[in-house]
Amino acid sequence: MNYKHEIAKLINIEGFSTEDIENLITFPKDSSMGDYALPCFKFSKVLRKAPVIIANELKDTIPNSELIEKVESVAGYLNFTMSKVPFIKETLEKINTEKENYGSSTLGNGKTICIDYSSINIAKPFHIGHLSTTVIGAALYRIYKFLGYNTVGINHLGDWGTQFGKLIVAYKLWGDKEKIEKNGIRALLEIYVKFHTEAEKNDSLNDEARAWFKKIEDGDQEALGLFEWFKDITLKEVSRVYKRLDIKFDSYNGESFYNDKMQPILDEIEEKGLSKKSEGATIVDLEEYGMAPCLLKKADGATLYATRDLAAAFYRKKTYDFDKCLYVVAYQQNLHFKQWFKVVELMGYPWAKDLIHVAFGMVSLEGASLSTRKGNVVFLEEVLDNAVKKAYGIICEKNANLENKEQIAEEVGVGAVVFSALSNNRIKDISFSYDKVLNFDGETAPYIQYTHARCCSVLEKGNMGSEIDYKGLANDEAFELVKLLERFPQIIEDSANKNEPSMVTRHIISIAQAYNKFYINHRIIDQPEGIKNARLLLTACTKDVIKTGLNLIGIKAPTKM
Ligand code: ARG
């Protein structure tokens, strides 16, 4: 049962459909204001009456319903307090039937969402700055999938540019094959940095680099071979991290993939009279729209990041026929996306509106505890390793006899890091701290995981039977918890609509807190059978919802901690 819908059906207002009304219904922050509320401000214009009067009049038209305990009109709102037991019974039965599918939907059936995320750069460190794009993108991928969408995860590799010419020169001068095979990106980074110091003294190195890059472009065997090797090394290394984060991609088509796909689009832009030459470069002037021009070709004929993004968008539209294409990329690139989205729009393609930049803030790290800094780069893998090590320490302290401590420390440590990028509105900057993310009592992944494990242990001890007396749940703590559980499917939908996985995260934090409040205030196991079973049922439903929520944001739910 969808309660918003059931309530909306009881309300008749001329000019507004049941669906309109349903969409207006909100959840009051404070439950003394009821469980659902209909703000009457929107009706004011049409009905030509003050909201307070509308709410008063509406109140008397609501038919008696066994679902609703009372209806009140307060300051332009119509507040509904639900009858506790039917609401609880209905909700828990639904969750208990649907189990891990509770909250899933067929909403997205027949629709495709492309998600461009992580999108790492070849031969560059996979660092803490990539955390957000990687975990936000992966969470959106899971959320959309859960809602029935066909999802396409794309790692738009940064595998093009003059830096690969530099890297070849550096490798030929100072490279050690074995060392690179062994140390991976770090070894590549080392010779790349050396290239820059040496090139400052000796400019001819830059000429050589340009020549090697040209060779890659021209398909020279040796050049391409080295380039592919750098790519393999990078992908091998980042795959280790993706595996730990349980992330997969459906496509690794990166920038180089579009080498031969840009010209037709450049031609079309020119034919449509959108581009012009400026000091030898090809640009689309966007002054009219208050933006700097979108640069498509440099004076030397080289294409740019935006040119490749344009080609990629057309390719994705043709290949996947997406309903939406999301770009999970830091807000520093706001202008870049606005510019080339505009170009697609000016070309006359209505799907320009389906291109969405899902921006997020920056991650910074607490200073002192980062002993692993290499230059200014903190590898994501090291952050995971450190968090796991610390989690292991905490687990040993809290529960020395726990079996499988390594595995659980991995799930807790990695989960804590993932959570840090998914717990606040994505646009906010994050200041990462190990102590903060690993605080078992804070609003953290370990806290939620711990609550899940607590549920599992209660269920194991409780031995639930089938006779259920819902009076065992007729208390405020249980009711507040059930309300949150009932809202879970809606939250998942909202989080997809806003491309904001943190809504799921916040919601499962609230659920964990509400369960613990219930747990502290009400005995479960040593109760009369029916009461015990009702409380165990609530525990089982809480466990399932927390697990689904953690799954969606990419965090494991150990059964013991
Ligand atoms: N590799 C780019 C970077 O690190 C991100 C690419 C994002 N995706 C895109 N289609 N532009 O900045």
Q: What angle do CA 248, 309, 347 make, to 5 degrees?
A: 135
Query: Token pair for residue 516?
Result: 């613990």
What pLDDT is attached to residue 430? Answer: 87
Query: Token pair for residue 542?
Result: 């809480």
CA of 181 to the centre of ligand 1 (A): 26
Q: Which of 121, 124, 155, 156 to mutate to test the pocket of ligand 1 (most atoms within 8 A of CB)?
A: 156
Indicate if ligand 1 lies below 6 Å from the C-beta of 116: yes
| Residue owning the nearest CA to atom 6 of ligand 1 | 119
Q: Are 176 and 141 in contact (CB under 8 A)?
A: no
CA of 142 to the centre of ligand 1 (A): 21
What is the C-alpha separation between 444 and 452, in angstroms, rounded?
13
What pLDDT is attached to residue 376? Answer: 62
| Residue owning the nearest CA to atom 11 of ligand 1 | 309
Indicate if ligand 1 lies below 6 Å from the C-beta of 21: no
What is the C-alpha separation between 113 and 140, in angstroms, rounded?
10
Give the E-state strand segments of 59-120 in sequence order.
68-74, 77-82, 112-116
Angstrom CA distances, 505 to 501, 509, 559, stand at: 7, 6, 19
DSSP-derived pairing of the beta strands 294-297 and 281-284: antiparallel
- HEC readout, 470-531: HHHHCCHHHHHHHHHHHHHHHHHHHHHHCCCCHHHHHHHHHHHHHHHHHHHHCCCCCCCHHH
Indicate if ligand 1 lies below 6 Å from the C-beta of 309: yes
What is the C-alpha separation between 472 and 468, in angstroms, rounded?
9
What pLDDT is attached to residue 375? Answer: 53
CA of 120 to the centre of ligand 1 (A): 7
Q: What are phi and psi of 433, to 5 degrees?
A: -145, 130
| Residues paired with 24 in a beta bridge | none
Q: Are 446 and 413 in contact (CB under 8 A)?
A: no
CA of 104 to the centre of ligand 1 (A): 30
3-class SS of residue 339 = helix
Q: Are 328 and 116 in contact (CB under 8 A)?
A: yes
DSSP-derived secondary structure letter, 278:
E
What is the number of helices (H) and of strands (E) in the chain? 21, 12
Indicate if ligand 1 lies below 6 Å from the C-beta of 119: yes
Indicate if ligand 1 lies below 6 Å from the C-beta of 158: yes
Contacts 24+ apart (CB under 8 A), 227-231: 227/159, 227/164, 227/168, 230/122, 230/123, 230/164, 230/167, 230/188, 231/122, 231/157, 231/159
CA of 119 to the centre of ligand 1 (A): 5
What is the C-alpha separation between 253 and 114, in angstroms, rounded?
13
For residue range 14-36, what is the model confidence (pLDDT) as tens digits? 899 999 999 999 999 888 889 99
For residue range 383-410, what is the model confidence (pLDDT) as tens digits? 999 999 999 999 999 999 999 999 999 9
Indicate if ligand 1 lies below 6 Å from the C-beta of 121: yes
DSSP-derived pairing of the beta strands 294-297 and 324-328: unpaired
Please give the biggest Cα pair distance in the chain.
87
Spatial CB neighbours of 105, under 8 Å, sequence gap ≥ 6: 146, 147, 148, 489, 492, 493
Closest ligand 1 atom number to CA of residue 337:
11
Indicate if ligand 1 lies below 6 Å from the C-beta of 156: yes
What is the C-alpha separation between 392 and 388, in angstroms, rounded?
6
What pLDDT is attached to residue 367? Answer: 55
Indicate if ligand 1 lies below 6 Å from the C-beta of 327: yes
Give average pLDDT by consecutive 10-residue segment, the chain, 561 residues: 90 92 92 92 93 95 91 95 93 96 97 98 90 97 98 97 93 95 92 92 95 90 95 95 97 95 97 96 97 95 94 98 98 97 98 98 68 62 95 95 96 97 93 90 95 98 95 94 97 98 98 98 96 98 98 98 92
Looking up tokens 């089982």, which residue turns up? 540
3-class SS of residue 276 = strand
In this structure, which amino acid lies at residue 554? G
CA of 147 to the centre of ligand 1 (A): 26
Indicate if ligand 1 lies below 6 Å from the C-beta of 132: no
DSSP-derived secondary structure letter, 374:
B
Closest ligand 1 atom number to CA of residue 130:
4
Q: Are 149 and 113 in contact (CB under 8 A)?
A: yes
What is the C-alpha separation between 187 and 183, in angstroms, rounded?
5
Q: What are phi and psi of 276, to 5 degrees?
A: -150, 165
CA of 153 to the centre of ligand 1 (A): 14
| Residue owning the nearest CA to atom 1 of ligand 1 | 158
What pLDDT is attached to residue 32? Answer: 84
Q: Are 488 and 102 in contact (CB under 8 A)?
A: yes
DSSP-derived pairing of the beta strands 275-278 and 150-154: unpaired
CA of 369 to the centre of ligand 1 (A): 29
Q: What percent of the chain has pLDDT over 90?
A: 89
Q: Which of 116, 122, 333 to mutate to test the pocket of ligand 1 (most atoms within 8 A of CB)?
A: 333
DSSP element (H, E) containing 201: helix 185-201
Q: Which of 117, 235, 329, 357 to mutate to test the pocket of ligand 1 (most atoms within 8 A of CB)?
A: 329
CA of 336 to the centre of ligand 1 (A): 10
CA of 254 to the centre of ligand 1 (A): 9
Q: What angle do CA 133, 139, 143 make, to 5 degrees?
A: 140
CA of 329 to the centre of ligand 1 (A): 7
